[in-house]
Amino acid sequence: MKDKVLEKQPQPEENKRRQFLKLSGMALVGTGLLYACSSDDDGSMPPPTPGVFDLGAGNVGILNYAYALEQLEAAFYTQVLAGSYWMNAPANEKQILEDLYNHEVIHREFFKTALNSVVSSDMVLPTVEFDFSSVNFSDRASVLGVAKILEDTGVSAYNGAGKLINVSDASGVTYLTLAGKIVSVEARHAAAIRDLLNPGSADFAGDDILIGLGTAPAFDKATPPADVLQAVAATGFVVTPFTANNLPTS
């Protein structure tokens, strides 16, 4: 299970598609998402792409969105723990990264279970394949640098998703509470990684990541899914295509 992502054996046809996506992704980095990821304000929906999973609408869409982010984090730390930086790291750092790995796997599996309990499996985001070949898992700065980005992104993503959860029924309130239970753990992670990179500094909650609300920087960002997914796409880590054409935007 630990190496689920690594053990996945792509079929020949998948290989071709993956190659195509890699190329397209490279071409589009910096210019936007490989796949459109938000409902347009004018209400027009892009047509579904055949064979490509869409995260869906409403609370299920938000759950799939969180599941996608947790899959990304869990897959990344799976690779971290298989790399030589981690194997040779000081005990304290090893422990922190192993904890993060455990937490993200737990989050991932939790969302998988939760989604499968509320919708049929064809509405649950499949296992996403990732390509971390741009990360040097032998290099501390490379690993911790990516970890920092992923954790900070997770924080701003959950903060931005909170208001998109429809709370008109009890399960919606439960989802909101769950998002709250997870986002603060992501923030704890982000602070720890940032402190590993610059120990004893103010970076754990630095001005580089916080924003002001008419004040000095003292608030985490709350980023809409479209912007989060655009940033994720720009990393080039995501191999399996999926769209987010129907997520709530307000």
Partner 1 sequence: MNFLKFLDTLSDKDLLNEKSSRRDSFDMFKTLGKGAALASIPFGLAAISTKTKAATKSMAYAAEMADEMDVLNFALTLEYLERSFYQQGLDAAGLIPSSDQAVFAKISQHEDAHVDFLVTALGSNAVAEPTFDFTGAPGGLNLDPFGDYPTFMALAQGFEDTGVRAYKGQAGALANDNALLEYALQIHSVEARHASQVRRMRGEKGWITQSNNTLPTEFAAIYGGSTPESNTTQGGVNLSGMFGQFGGDAAVTEAFDEPLTMNEVLTIASIFIVS
Shortest Å distance, C-beta 1 to partner 1: 7
58 binds partner 1 (CB under 8 A): no
Cα(154)–Cα(51) distance, integer angstroms: 27
For partner 1, which is the closer residue by CB, 139 or 169? 169
Coil, strand or helix at 8: coil
Shortest Å distance, C-beta 78 to partner 1: 11
* DSSP secondary structure letter of residue 242: E
Burial class (CB in 10 A: 0-12, 13-18, 19+), 88: exposed
213 binds partner 1 (CB under 8 A): yes
Shortest Å distance, C-beta 91 to partner 1: 13
191 binds partner 1 (CB under 8 A): yes
Cα(72)–Cα(108) distance, integer angstroms: 9
51 binds partner 1 (CB under 8 A): no
Which residues in 153-172 contact partner 1 (CB under 8 A)?
A: 155, 158-160, 162-163, 165-168, 172
Could you say which of 187, 228, 229, 244 contacts partner 1 (CB under 8 A)? Answer: 187
Shortest Å distance, C-beta 25 to partner 1: 28
Could you say which of 145, 197, 217, 231 contacts partner 1 (CB under 8 A)? Answer: 217
Shortest Å distance, C-beta 39 to partner 1: 16
131 binds partner 1 (CB under 8 A): no
Q: Helix 170-197 vs helix 91-118: angle between axes, to the nearest 10 degrees?
A: 160
Cα(116)–Cα(123) distance, integer angstroms: 8
**CA angle 144–233–237, rounded 5-degree value:** 50
Pairing mode of beta strands 53-54, 242-243: parallel
- Within 8 A by CB and 6+ apart from 46, the residues are 36, 243, 245
Which residues in 82-121 contact partner 1 (CB under 8 A)?
A: 96, 98-99, 101-103, 105-107, 109-110, 113-114, 117
Residues linked to residue 130 through DSSP beta bridges, in sequence order? 238
> Residue numbers of the site for partner 1 (CB under 8 A)?
1-2, 96, 98-99, 101-103, 105-107, 109-110, 113-114, 117, 155, 158-160, 162-163, 165-168, 172-178, 180-192, 195, 200-202, 204-206, 210-222, 250
